[in-house]
Chain A
Amino acid sequence: MSTVVTPAARARWAVVVLGTAALVSVLGFGPRAVAALGVTPTELEPQAVAARAAASADVPYSATGESRGALALPDLRGFGDLASLLGDTTQTRTWWGDEAHWRVDVVDVTGERDTYGLPRSVWTWDYGRRELVTVTGGATARLPRADDLLPPQATRRLLAAVGPDDAVTALPPQRVGGRTADRVRVSPGDGRSTIARADVWVDRETGLPLRLVVVGTDGSDALTTELSRVTVGRPDPAVLTPPAAPGAERELRTAPDLVGRVAQASRWLLPPSLAGLPVTPGRQAPGDVTTYGTGLVRVAVLPLPPDVARDVVGGATSAGSVVEEVPDGRLVRIGSSLLNAVLATSADGRRAYVVTGLVDPGLLDEAAADLLDAEPEGRGPR
């Protein structure tokens, strides 16, 4: 097929090419150009920016969100969506009134799983299972949920743990989703933390954390979570009301998951310190998971009933983890670049613990050895 190129033909192609270039410029590079525009530095000290972020729980907003985890954890039975939550991309929609009135939807193309926070209960709606679950009782021990990975929640939790040895420094402000954000970097003061640094983008107008990037000691981004399409203001109360869900299965629970059930049933008194780390100061209510350490180096310990421990160890070894014999029992290590865990079982099989934290595996081994070495007070988990 031959073509005679005339001036009219050139003009037609010029229209098409210029139109395409204009379209690509406006749609493709426009938003990036706006994002790259410089923003004025903040007058606040980094500690003040962090304090605003830590006090942002009452900022009402609606937004979409995305979290990307790079933690290669095995998918263990009883641990729900933990592996995919921390190892994959999760898309969310959030409506936040305050800590007792919120809703977070995890959406995908086949359905959605919605969590509603109410004053005395948490409701979850799973479209795929057509199941509406109400959890009452205010259990604090539980597995991480998608709403824990939202930038505001994850940042508040991180900042609440920052100790006097950890550093909070300022970074140049940037724009996130069209909003001006002040930026701070949190760096652990203790080399045993697996967090190399955590960068937080804080909305200058409201103090709401808009983005959080946690970098592991291996230099990779272990967790990136970001809000987009943020609208500040109290959501419609109807949106925060759990659905009627006609025809759905309904269930009432007093513990949200395996961790909550085990923590509630636990009667062991754990030692006052492990691996040189004292019990974390603060009130420990029944049903809490006991934590040790201060600042960003903290170790959580959860005693497991023997049957649950066998299941967990079996699942972990099936996923490739190796059982190591130690003087007082056995250890199974589960590791990722950021989050590490050790399943410790006593030689007689009567006692078992999950020891976990964003810390060096060696520290967890020491804590596990101390647990296996000490005779616990009280009864084991029921």
Chain B
Amino acid sequence: MIRVELRKLVSRPRTWVSIGLLCLLPVVVAVFLAVTGIAPRPGQGPTLLAAVLGNGALYPAAALGIVLPFFLPIAVAVQAGEAVAGEASAGTLRYLLVRPVGRTRLLVAKLVSVLVYTLLAVLAVAVVGYVTGISLLGNSGQLTTTTLAGTTLTPASLAWRTGVMVLYIGWSMVGVAAVALFLSTVTDSSLAAALGGLAVLVSSSVLVALDAAGAVRDYLPTRYWLAWVDLFRDPVPWHDLQAGVLVQTGYVVVLLGAAWANFTTRDITS
């Protein structure tokens, strides 16, 4: 079942089109930076973008910083929202379940497919960011890659930090996927499931910025999304990254549990 879902994932053009579009924006930004040589003013623009001129090796992090607030969650929410609701709206869900396939197994297969898509998307942005950064922005030799604290980053140090960043952002997106996947088991409309997932994220982002919501801020799904920036500090403060993983894990466990309880309970009519 998992193999079937993965084959379906990689054989769908829209999988690659959506990942391609995700990668496009960082490439466009890199082209503008390379051509004009104008980086954002200090303290403005996406994180680390001000530091990438002459430091192409930092561009994977900057590229993920560009797509993280909007495009990456949208892509993941659409993919996860479509997982079950898409089959229902296409009228294929009941035929899928006519086969000797348990609902839990089907849900797990859908979940694995969404996880693979999420990891693929994050990795693709990072890899395209690296290739674009090195080829367009290069390493002019004028600037050495440094942490936010001004200490020198060796290639090995930069590599492990970027690797952990990819995993962290990937796990943050799994939280988005869990919301949309749960909604996907509630409604037959994949659009509604995806938009519902995005509505949760927008609401969370609004509350995170609100001082009056301080009592619940640390438990909101987007609270620690930008904690990956801490990987580029020296010394690395791990507490927000750990808290981010814990919070996302909480949402993933609860929402996937709810998705499982709902999907294995409901009557499939479409």
Contacts and interface: CB of A to CB of B under 8 A. Distances in A.
B253 A23 contact: yes
Interface in A226-275: 229, 239, 242-248
A37 interface: no
A87 to B, nearest CB: 12
A1 B84 CA distance: 14
B102 to A, nearest CB: 13
A252 to B, nearest CB: 17
B150 A125 contact: yes
B265 A5 contact: yes
Contacts of B261: 9, 12-13, 15-16
Interface in B210-255: 211, 219, 226, 229, 233-235, 237, 239, 246, 250, 253-254
Interface in A116-131: 125-130
B237 A93 contact: yes
A16 B254 contact: yes
A114 B150 contact: yes
A20 B265 contact: no
B61 to A, nearest CB: 13
Contacts of A3: 265-267
A2 B188 CA distance: 12
A111 B41 CA distance: 12
Given A12-B260, A27-B219, A247-B142, A110 B44 contact: yes
Contact of B151 (A19, A110, A243): A243
B18 interface: no
A126 B144 CA distance: 16
A349 interface: no
Given A23-B253, A23-B254, A246 B266 contact: no
Contacts of B237: 64, 93
Contacts of A248: 150
B257 interface: yes
B42 A129 contact: yes
A319 interface: no
B231 to A, nearest CB: 13
Interface in B133-175: 142-144, 146, 148-152
Contact of B269 (A1, A15, A111, A247): A1
B264 interface: yes
B146 A245 contact: yes
Interface residues of B, number: 39
A132 interface: yes
A182 interface: no
Nearest to B46: A110
Given A9-B265, A64-B237, A64-B239, A109 B47 contact: yes
A130 to B, nearest CB: 7
Contacts, number: 104
Contact of B43 (A105, A125, A128, A239): A128
B150 A16 contact: no
A308 interface: no
| Centre residue among A5, A245, A248 by max chain B CB count within 10 A | A245
Given A27-B246, A28-B219, A244-B150, A239 B235 contact: yes
B219 to A, nearest CB: 6
A107 B234 CA distance: 12
B50 A128 contact: yes
Contacts of A89: 211
B229 A109 contact: yes
Contacts of B233: 105, 107, 112
Given A9-B265, A28-B219, A130-B42, A19 B257 contact: yes
A4 B233 CA distance: 54
A177 B142 CA distance: 44
Contacts of B146: 243, 245-247
A163 to B, nearest CB: 35
Given A16-B258, A128-B43, A129-B42, A247 B143 contact: yes
Contact of B144 (A112, A242, A247): A247
Given A64-B237, A247-B144, A248-B150, A12 B265 contact: yes
Given A13-B261, A16-B254, A109 B226 contact: yes
Contacts of A1: 188, 266-267, 269
Nearest to A10: B265
Given A93-B237, A127-B148, A19 B188 contact: no
6 contacts: A1-B266, A1-B269, A13-B261, A27-B219, A110-B43, A130-B42
Give the 6 A-B residue pairs with the shortest CB-CB distance, closest first.
A243-B150, A128-B42, A245-B150, A128-B43, A9-B265, A12-B261
Given A1-B269, A19-B253, A93-B237, 19 more contacts: A3-B266, A3-B267, A4-B267, A5-B265, A8-B265, A9-B261, A12-B261, A12-B264, A13-B261, A15-B261, A19-B254, A20-B257, A27-B219, A105-B233, A125-B150, A127-B42, A128-B43, A132-B150, A244-B152
